[in-house]
Chain A
Amino acid sequence: MNYLHDIQAFLPGVIIAFTGLITILLESLKRDVRTMYGVSAAGVLAALIAAILSSTSEGGTAFTDAIVYGGWSSFGQVIILIGTLFSILLSADYLKSKSLHFGEVYAMILFASLGMLVLAASNHLITLFLGIETMSVALYVLAGLMHYRKTGAEAALKYFLLGAFATGFLLFGIALIYGSTGEMTLTSVAAAASPTPLFLAGSGLLLTGIFFKIGAVPFHMWTPDVYEGTPTTLTGFMATSAKTASFVAFALILVRMVPETSYESWQSVIQVIAILTMIVGNVIALVQENVKRMLAYSSIAHAGYLLVGMASGGYSAVLFYLFAYTIMNLGAFGVIAYFERTKNFDFTSIESYAGLGSRAPLMGVLLSVFLFSLIGIPPFAGFMGKYYVFASAVQAGMIPLAVIGVLASAASVYYYLRVMVYLYFKPEHKPVHLEKASVLFTATLILLAASTLYFGIEPLVSVTDLFGFVTGISP
């Protein structure tokens, strides 16, 4: 038992946990909110550096096989922490304008982030459960931040009731898997598993719980309402970091827990869900009038593309996609948050964005960059992500899956471009007074847009250099 080694292996999570505790302590000492903001941003930055360092190191397990570190799992943590950092940086201005700028918000973001880190490193069914629940309970609170508004309270109630319902399934799945094998460490489960009805039922229930968390069809019902009712920058946090954590945990389960004999049947289930998710997400997004609901359905569609990568075993492609998706989606939510700061004007429908391209040129360009990247147009990171995911499907011989994916993403051009048509080609309804964004807010968005471009131009090479992340690293 070498606790120092274990703590070092999970250093990003430990830093985040302590930063969260310090933040909540400062809040109880009635410090200025800006202190909490600074402390939490610094803590996440430190954890991010620790995660980047550990992703280049040799992988292994810690805490008596409860967590894994190194390789993909650490790269997943890097993506989660990037998402957390940018959400915190973008949140301050937006929350201030909505009079929601409390220190507790940062503490909750940090605790949710801790849950995600645990989830992305889980090698044991107990850590998996604890990670998902720590993340979810903190996110329920964030979803209910605007509880004085009807949409906010509804979002929190929906997220909470359906999330707790899904937790029940997940936990029952864990219990059945445990019952049929007598083991809880993922690798020992794989060794002891036999395709008994008990084990199959347990796997199915576990999958249901995970599909709920990543918002795959038919377990996507909560996504649009929750995304609509949550403060916008925190919606970005939910859509990126939480999704990344669930996908990394899903990959760990697929690689470590699924016995080889039943791997193919898992693959075919994931394929069916991937096709459903891509089609339903894209088709319903076509008819949305509300920008945030449109982005919610688009995030369902993106979960579908990611599932294509999962079904074909292209986990590195999935990780790159998650990275690209995190930076471009956070950017898009950030620009929307900038517009929503405006008082006396409601920026919820797509029509309300008419003519803003000339009124706020910089924000218009930034939003266009992020939307182009979400469509998957070169030279942006979103294109490379999609390319890798579909290429891995083709390599695995799943041609129909790749074809449906490409067609579905062609349909997505319509609803993303529609926003840009309103931005640039429609006349303004009435002059709106847009408030100036702070330097930090604008700089953060420009940084996100620049990295969207950068990682689209030289994708894997630079990622390999940065994180020692290569296709060969096993989870």
Chain B
Amino acid sequence: MIGIDWYLALSAILFVIGIVGVLIRRNAIVVFMCVELMLNAVNLALLSFSAYHGDIGGMILVFFSLAVAAAEAVVGLAIIIAIFRNHLSVDILKVNLLRW
């Protein structure tokens, strides 16, 4: 029997990998993938908490979070295409992210 700690540890590791990826990668699509990784890490945590508490609420939230991630992907990829058309690159340093 694997305890809840292991699931939570995995979820936290995935979440941190996602954060680090968002902060250090330059390609907008990779950054977006890292955001998705963060959301999926949370889904894992929600599922394990849900099973741990014997409560269905967390699993329902996972469904919503999957649907939201899909909606975000639709809008996000469209925006990245628009950026590519303007700059012929999806490098976020070239689009000057986070200036003063």
Contacts and interface: CB of A to CB of B under 8 A. Distances in A.
Interface of A: 125-126, 129-130, 133, 137, 140-141, 144, 147-150, 153-154, 156-158, 160-161, 164-165, 167-168, 171-172, 174-176, 178-179, 182-184, 221, 225, 284
Contacts of B28: 157, 161
B75 A221 contact: no
Contacts of A129: 61, 64-65, 68
Nearest to B50: A178
Chain A's interface: helix, strand, loop or mixed, by majority?
helix
Given A164-B32, A221-B98, A144 B76 contact: no
Contacts of B49: 175, 178-179, 182
A130 B49 CA distance: 20
B71 A171 contact: no
Contacts of A150: 86-87
Interface in B38-90: 38-39, 41-42, 45-46, 49-50, 52-53, 55, 57-58, 60-61, 64-65, 68, 71-72, 75-76, 78-80, 82-83, 85-87
Given A175-B58, A179-B49, A184-B57, A157 B79 contact: yes
A226 to B, nearest CB: 12
B58 A178 contact: yes
Nearest to B46: A175
A182 B55 contact: yes
Nearest to B76: A160
A126 B59 CA distance: 11
B43 to A, nearest CB: 8
Contact of B61 (A126, A176, A221): A126
A157 B95 contact: yes
A404 B76 CA distance: 40
Contact of A161 (B39, B61, B78, B92): B92
Nearest to A164: B35
**Pairs of residues from A and B, 7 with the lowest C-beta to C-beta distance, nearest first:** A168-B38, A179-B49, A147-B82, A182-B53, A164-B35, A175-B45, A133-B68
Nearest to B74: A137
A164 B42 CA distance: 13
B79 A156 contact: yes
Nearest to A150: B86
Contacts of B8: 179
Contacts of A141: 75
Given A161-B28, A167-B39, 20 more contacts: A125-B61, A133-B68, A133-B71, A150-B87, A153-B85, A154-B95, A157-B28, A158-B98, A160-B76, A160-B79, A161-B31, A161-B35, A164-B35, A165-B22, A165-B38, A167-B68, A168-B15, A175-B46, A182-B55, A221-B98
8 contacts: A147-B86, A157-B97, A172-B38, A172-B42, A172-B45, A179-B8, A182-B53, A184-B57
Interface of B: 8, 15, 18-19, 22, 28, 31-32, 35, 38-39, 41-42, 45-46, 49-50, 52-53, 55, 57-58, 60-61, 64-65, 68, 71-72, 75-76, 78-80, 82-83, 85-87, 92, 95-100
Contacts of B97: 157-158, 161
B61 A140 contact: no
Nearest to B57: A184
Contact of B42 (A144, A157, A168, A182): A168
Contacts of A133: 68, 71-72
A179 B52 contact: yes
Contacts of A153: 79, 82-83, 85-87, 95
A147 B79 contact: yes
Contact of A140 (B55, B79, B86): B79
Contact of B75 (A140, A154, A174): A140
Contacts of B53: 179, 182
A225 to B, nearest CB: 7
A468 to B, nearest CB: 34
A157 B92 contact: yes
Give the interface centre of B78, B86, B87 by most chain A CB atoms within 10 Å.
B86
A171 B39 contact: yes
A42 B81 CA distance: 35
B79 A126 contact: no
Contacts of B41: 172
B35 A165 contact: yes
Contact of A176 (B45, B57, B80, B83): B45
Contacts of A182: 49, 53, 55
Contacts of A183: 57
Contact of B46 (A161, A178, A225): A178
Nearest to A184: B57
A137 B99 CA distance: 23
B72 A137 contact: yes
B40 to A, nearest CB: 10
Given A140-B75, A147-B82, A161 B45 contact: no
Give the interface centre of B15, B42, B78 by most chain A CB atoms within 10 Å.
B42
